[in-house]
Structure 1
């Protein structure tokens, strides 16, 4: 079904040459126009959600009020917290995430209203309420998973601050609150905003839309999206890039030349493997999300001087030429995964299995905004026609 135009998705449009636009705005335009946090210089992801949902840039006052609402609704039910505490510590973070989000269905306003009898014209209202509640809780769930899996469990290192934004509170729950961690908090703002939506055809967005089309509530719908995101072909690329970059670093001289990097790239390709972090199902030019993250890093000397980041930067210049010569890649340019995992690594997050959970916090923005519109527009259940192998063979023989 790749490239088949088969669904309505309002928030973003992905052009093969231009990259992503959010309601017509490029990433750079969003960075200029969307409100920032009380600290830092990057756009707020809750402002991106507002844009995705309404098509309008919110005022600073509107975003501050929305940030407060998300903070006020961030607490998760006691039974969900206990369930997360009882999971095996080595249960995959995305498995934990999907189960916890599904369990929030217990408090779904949409499910309860539908059970009592709800006019179709009103479906969108409890869908909206559930979506905001879920967005508010995603950082809390993700942080609790991190605390249990990698920090020995126990209480989270901070409480949600109603005077702070969504990203700051997520950072604080991960142990990165306070003024001394402002750069990481700003990275998180940028990362969450950039990864929030990428058209509707990717697995996580489409899975959310598909399950939602059966009138499953937002918690069940987005749980399906998270399970799609957990697949190696969708949400695991950032960790694969980082592992590969670290392997390269270990296998080339410390004072390496561009020829050393090029030779390692060829050794990867000649062994039958792919170079992770390059190419994209739609894009045919460098990913503007990659460029935004690289610009962020280049403006901060502590990242720009990191040897691992420098290797990523060298690869972004050398790998496209190698891949062009190799001749088997439609898009030889770096995608967003080439830089995101390396930046998390720089700030001390070395647990690569967890990276997709942060992606899962972000990806709630677009699919949940669209789910509200799906119910407002009364879009029908998704039910494509299938065909068996005999039917396919008959069609081929007929040609």
Structure 2
């Protein structure tokens, strides 16, 4: 896409009155740059905390050594987006106009919040939704051809990483940097263009990957330039009434519910501070001035790891197997015995515990509330009912077991089984939808990395002999 006139983005007005996201970002840049420069000049020697040997050899867990602009993760309170909880975001962020305030907020609303730190107006979100829909209307021909050529049984996340990396061919930032025609203070504007183009392309890429898996590459739905980002993801999965080609027999109500499930899932998964593998990898690769396509394709490869993005599929497998072995999800004693059997065989209960959180995951609460608002829809689904039952039983068992720091359900306990309920039963594919959502947080940070001129990331490593000397061994 051709760059628009950048001079307009340097007009500094209150971003509440600016309809264009890029102009709203430009509005807040001077203050943020000044604040960071002041801290860098005057407080660089202030200690954040003491890094221990245990931290060095245990994955740098808990080291407060990374700058992240938009989200913070408190062990007790959960995720906050520029200081706002999920519940506050659900109340404040605009949704789709056709839902009349009864649906979920749009991920586009969250993207605006992540980029600017301010809650957008409905008009600002409408403009951003329209811009993303127009940018995403056509995939680069080489990317589409490449996706068509991939083996149908290739891992969905590999397909996603390949597609995103291939879009590097059209990177505006990479082209301008290679020309040597831009200064450091202007990097962000070209990175921003790549970021929006990447996010806009995700519905079509996602739909193509899913059609590769289940329909021999033939389209399952239509892209609708008049609709929002999540709607087009749902449509291209064959899950909307008006735009589906040949898949599920859906009522309008179920179609609307699925679209809102995508909006909710993508809205609350956009970011989870900077230390998780997908976010950190995107930031790390981007710190070398790799363009957003290369940076986020690297993040996707991290998200594909079983310890990061594949947890939802493990939960679904667990629930499917467990449901076969219990006579009734209402049989509390039998459910407890099943959980003890799992724990006593040195396995874990998937979907419980978290690397940072020590309290129930607010994202799980949001997904659970989605199901509880639709009792008729989920009443007859034993696996969804088992998910709900486990959220009450498993924490008690895990507390008694005593080896889990956080015995509460995380978001993966609920997310995958809800998609499974609606017919998205290709378990490896769940993480592709996760990848759509997670793009917004790390890529927003990538824009701010360039705005603030953050350097290449280069921590110092130490060997075992050095550790021995420090420990006086």
Question: 75, 78, 86: which one pairs with 1:16?
Answer: 75
Question: 349, 357, 379: which one pairs with 2:432?
Answer: 357
Q: Give the SS at the match of 2:118.
A: coil
Cα deviation, 1:245-286, whole Å, max 9, x if unaligned, reads 111001111465100110000000001100000000111110
- Identify the range of structure 1 (284-293 vs 296-305) with the bigger mean alpha-carbon deviation: 296-305
Partner of 1:26: 85
Answer yes or no: is the 8 Å Cα contact 1:193–1:362 preserved in 2: yes
What RMSD in Å do the two structures reach over aligned CA positions?
1.0
1:48 and 2:110 equivalent? yes
Partner of 2:186: 122
Partner of 2:346: 272
Partner of 1:367: 442
Instruction: Find runs of 4+ consecutive structure 1 residues off by over 6 angstroms.
Output: none
1:241 and 2:315 equivalent? yes
1:151 and 2:215 equivalent? yes
The correspondence of residues 79-90 of structure 1 with structure 2, limited to 5 A, is 79-90=142-153
1:290 and 2:364 equivalent? yes
Question: 230, 240, 245: which one pairs with 1:167?
Answer: 230
Q: Give the SS at the match of 1:123.
A: helix
Partner of 1:95: 158
Q: Give the SS at the match of 2:471.
A: helix
The correspondence of residues 1-399 of structure 1 with structure 2, limited to 5 A, is 1-40=60-99, 41-74=103-136, 75-117=138-180, 118-154=182-218, 156-178=219-241, 179-180=252-253, 181-254=255-328, 256-301=330-375, 302-397=377-472
Q: Give the SS at the match of 1:224.
A: helix
Shift of residue 307 of structure 1? 1.1
Answer yes or no: is the 8 Å Cα contact 2:207–2:236 preserved in 1: yes
Unaligned runs of 5+ in 2: 1-59, 242-251
What CA distance in whole angstroms lies between the structure 2 residues aligned with 1:310 and 1:252?
A: 13
Answer yes or no: is the 8 Å Cα contact 1:265–1:319 preserved in 2: yes
Q: Give the SS at the match of 2:109.
A: helix
Answer yes or no: is the 8 Å Cα contact 2:309–2:434 preserved in 1: yes
Answer yes or no: is the 8 Å Cα contact 2:323–2:329 preserved in 1: no
Answer yes or no: is the 8 Å Cα contact 2:329–2:385 preserved in 1: no
What CA distance in whole angstroms lies between the structure 2 residues aligned with 1:39 and 1:264?
A: 45
Point out the structure with max Rg over C-alpha: 2
Shift of residue 212 of structure 1? 0.2
Answer yes or no: is the 8 Å Cα contact 1:67–1:162 preserved in 2: no
Answer yes or no: is the 8 Å Cα contact 2:329–2:382 preserved in 1: no
Answer yes or no: is the 8 Å Cα contact 2:258–2:422 preserved in 1: yes
What CA distance in whole angstroms lies between the structure 1 residues aligned with 2:313 and 2:261?
A: 17
Shift of residue 161 of structure 1? 1.5
What CA distance in whole angstroms lies between the structure 2 residues aligned with 1:177 and 1:310?
A: 25
Answer yes or no: is the 8 Å Cα contact 1:37–1:44 preserved in 2: yes
Answer yes or no: is the 8 Å Cα contact 1:258–1:318 preserved in 2: yes
Answer yes or no: is the 8 Å Cα contact 1:252–1:260 preserved in 2: yes
Q: Give the SS at the match of 1:42.
A: coil
Q: TM-score when scaled to structure 1?
A: 0.98
Q: Number of residue pairs matched?
A: 397
Q: Give the SS at the match of 1:103.
A: helix
Q: Give the SS at the match of 2:261.
A: helix
What CA distance in whole angstroms lies between the structure 2 residues aligned with 1:157 and 1:310?
A: 29
Shift of residue 370 of structure 1? 0.5
- Identify the range of structure 1 (68-77 vs 43-52) with the bigger mean alpha-carbon deviation: 68-77
What CA distance in whole angstroms lies between the structure 1 residues aligned with 2:240 and 2:228?
A: 12
The 3 A distance-change label for structure 1 pair 61 and 36 is same
Q: TM-score when scaled to structure 2?
A: 0.83
Q: Give the SS at the match of 1:14.
A: strand
What CA distance in whole angstroms lies between the structure 2 residues aligned with 1:54 and 1:304?
A: 41
Q: Give the SS at the match of 1:158.
A: coil
Shift of residue 38 of structure 1? 2.7
Shift of residue 395 of structure 1? 2.0
Unaligned runs of 5+ in 1: none
Q: Give the SS at the match of 1:397.
A: coil
